[in-house]
Amino acid sequence: MRLSNRNKTSVYSFITTLLAMLLVGGVGAYILEEYKFKILGWEGVLLIIVPVFLIVFFYLNGRQIFEYDSDGEALHFRNRNIIPFLHKPLSDEFPKYKLQKFEIIDLFFMKRLYVTISSKNSGSTTLRYEISYLTKREISDLKVSLNKVVKANKEKKS
């Protein structure tokens, strides 16, 4: 099964551009407010604080693009940001038989996928992927696919 939200890259780029324009406009309006108009008083600071809060919220949700591929004998996970220099892109590939378990954590707006795989050196390793920007349907499809792999691995061990 293949799962990707790469086709939404243009939407996330638009949101990033919109937030940057909102911040620049807010800074310009704040400067005009402080030195020319003096209408708002202390509330003029909100012209900068609100856009900064929105930008921080957008980027704290994690990497926007998530790709998953379970075709063949290996699992491929890719997680990247639309602005390449903000986060290092994650790319992992490992055989299906190494998958031990997975867990999806849903914390308000942030969603994380934790995948535990077997490792020769340390016994097991946990990999973390940010899936906040996937739809509910995409997350349920991901759960179904990973459950099939985990179930098949448990049957092989028995």
| Interval 38-74: pLDDT, tens | 787 788 889 899 999 999 999 888 899 999 999 999 9
Q: What is the DSSP string of 49-77?
A: HHHHHHHHHHHHT--SEEEEE--TTEEEE
- Residues 24 and 35: their CA atoms lie apart, in Å, by 17
Q: What is the pLDDT of residue 122?
A: 79
Higher pLDDT, 83 or 7: 7
Q: Which of 38-47, 86-95, 142-151 has the lowest mean pLDDT?
A: 38-47
Q: What is the pLDDT of residue 144?
A: 95
Q: Which of 27-31, 43-47, 88-92 has the lowest mean pLDDT?
A: 43-47
Number of domains in the chain: 1
Q: What is the pLDDT of residue 41?
A: 79
Residue 23: what are its φ and ψ, rounded to 5°? -65, -45
Would the pLDDT of 140 be above 80? yes
**Measured between alpha carbons, how far apart are the two ends of the chain, in Å?**
25
Asked if residue 67 lies in contact with residue 77, where contact means CB atoms within 8 angstroms, the answer is yes
Q: Which two tokens stand for residue 157?
A: 């061990």
Q: What is the pLDDT of residue 132?
A: 93
Higher pLDDT, 87 or 93: 93
| Interval 105-123: pLDDT, tens | 998 889 999 999 998 887 8
Asked if residue 115 lies in contact with residue 99, where contact means CB atoms within 8 angstroms, the answer is yes
Q: Which residues form the domain of 83? A: 1-158
CATH number (domain holding residue 89): 2.30.29
Mean per-residue pLDDT for 27-39?
87
